[in-house]
Amino acid sequence: PIATETPAALFELGSYRGVRDRLAGLTWGAEDLPASIGATSAREEDGRYTAPIEMARSLTLFAAHAAGVAAIDTVFPRIDAMDDLAAYVGRARRDGFTGMMAIHPVQVAAINAGFTPTQAEVDHARAVVDAFAANPGAGVLKLDGKMIDRPHLVQAQRVLAAI
């Protein structure tokens, strides 16, 4: 469901945990919410969301992960701005979203590409998993001169699950 079309909906985001077995994912809407609160815009001059709208985005992200379902980012409304779409998808993936809605079919390939791990990410994830497999009792390891621990292993497993 689109979880943030009204201000009241924001206060119910935690309730989705109780119905997770009937949910595939959770998304949010950046167009309805600003209108419902009387905001003149959802975005800053540079295209980024205003603070109240970014909060709704973040709360939806956390609610989806708390419910154990896919965190789906909202649409990117500028159909012909493919470079900007690619940058937006990159930020969405970086932030923890696992997918994104498309407003137009021309956007699907860019969205799919943006949520697909690169070969370098896959290689690194395999190295992290292999390092922990070779040292099953270790809590912290060194890989490529950097410290890695359980959160890095969890992230590596997510990357590998996405391929």
Q: What's the CA gap between 58 and 18, in Å, rounded?
A: 20
Give the range among 15-19, 93-97, 115-119 with minimum mean pLDDT: 15-19
Residue 5 has pLDDT above 80, yes or no: yes
What CATH number does the domain containing 22 carry?
3.20.20.60
Q: Which domain holds residue 126?
A: 119-161
pLDDT: which is higher, 47 or 156: 156
Q: What's the CA gap between 140 and 40, in Å, rounded?
A: 49
Count of structural domains within the chain: 2
**125 and 63 within one domain:** no
Residue 74 has pLDDT above 60, yes or no: yes
Give tens-digit pLDDT for 142-162. 999 999 999 999 999 999 999
Asked whether residue 54 is assigned to any structural domain, the reply reads yes
**67 and 22 within one domain:** yes
Given 76, 92, 114, which residue is the final one in a domain? 114
Q: What is the pLDDT of residue 1?
A: 56
Q: What's the CA gap between 113 and 110, in Å, rounded?
A: 5
Residue 15 has pLDDT above 70, yes or no: yes
**98 and 150 within one domain:** no
Asked whether residue 1 is assigned to any structural domain, the reply reads no
Active site residues: 149
- What is the residue-wise DSSP string for 51-84? HHHHHHHHHHHHHHHHHTSEEEE-----TT-HHH
* Prediction pTM value: 0.89
